Amino acid sequence: MDVGEHVIAAGLSDPGMVRSNNEDSIAYDLSHGILILADGMGGYSGGEVASGIAVQVITDYLQEHLSSLKKIGEIDNKSGFTYESLLAEQAISLANVAIKETALQDPQRHQMGTTIVVVIFYDNRMTVAHIGDSRLYRRRHQQLEQITRDHSLLQELVDKGFYTEEEARSSLNKNVLTRALGTDDAVKIDKHEEVVLPEDLYLLCTDGLSDMLLDKEIDSLLVEAGNQPEEAVMRLVSGANNAGGLDNVSVVVARVESEFSVKRAWYNKVLDWFFE
């Protein structure tokens, strides 16, 4: 099934107003149903290298393995996750190894790492897997909701009640990550699966967007863009830059145009019979 017939997307990555380099990387390939975004860190252009490796390794792996799954949306009995979710996890783990190996060969970049957000659409569902403070938002029924939870010191302090969300915004140490890709041997990946509805809008972004704009400002820009991905990515990047553009800003926006469920005729027949 070609998800690209049912979901449209656009992406934009911009250095912002202050920095000369761009350490973010993005990719999307809707024929495979994938959206990817990474925000690298580390001196001597290590950030660019790390986010670039992550996006490349994950894209290659998913393109190869998603198309060879026997069934779409099948659940692995052992983990309770779909095979698509497991592939996302494997892809991210491979990227971790690739970044670490590159870092070993280049002592100046030994501390490089990256955040990662991977979204896969399949069978009226999506998986999101992430590490770090790059985010996935969903806009559904006129409501913008943050789906991922940041792996940052600040989020931990908010969770423990040291800060309110508002105080957190003005905190100085908001960019300290508690998890990153490429910096440790083992990676702990948060992944979850959600049902997708027609007209849903999905927004992946780096902190260059979410630090510069409040959620309600992001929401207004999406509304102004008529929920259209091409228009939305331009307005979001301009919005972050108009607010100062202190960091690189990257966004990928996808809109679900129609359902993309796998036809399971016999299964539906059994259900119809069962619930008659």
d(CA 237, CA 63): 28
**Of the listed pieces 73-81, 192-200, 245-253, 266-274, which binds Ca ion according to CB under 5 A?**
245-253
d(CA 71, CA 32): 14
Burial of 267 (0-12, 13-18, 19+ CB in 10 A): exposed
Give every CB contact of residue 116 below 8 A, 6+ residues apart in sequence.
Answer: 36, 37, 38, 54, 58, 92, 95, 129, 130, 131, 132, 134, 181
Q: How many Cα atoms occupy the beta-carbon half-sphere of 12 within 13 Å?
A: 19
* Binder of Ca ion out of 207, 225, 233, 237 (CB under 5 A): 207
Nearer to Ca ion, 102 or 152 (CB): 152
* Binder of Ca ion out of 247, 252, 253, 260 (CB under 5 A): 247
Nearer to Ca ion, 18 or 197 (CB): 18
Nearer to Ca ion, 193 or 247 (CB): 247
Q: How far is the CB of 133 from Ca ion (least distance, A)?
A: 8
* Binder of Ca ion out of 16, 36, 39, 254 (CB under 5 A): 39
d(CA 114, CA 206): 11
**Of the listed pieces 61-69, 93-101, 198-206, 265-273, which binds Ca ion according to CB under 5 A?**
198-206
The first and second tokens of residue 259, run together, are 């359902």
Nearer to Ca ion, 89 or 207 (CB): 207
User: According to the binding rule CB under 5 A, does residue 150 interact with Ca ion?
Assistant: no
d(CA 158, CA 166): 10
Q: How far is the CB of 80 from Ca ion (least distance, A)?
A: 33
**Of the listed pieces 11-19, 59-67, 141-149, 203-211, which binds Ca ion according to CB under 5 A?**
203-211
What residue ranges bind Ca ion (CB under 5 A)? 39, 206-208, 247
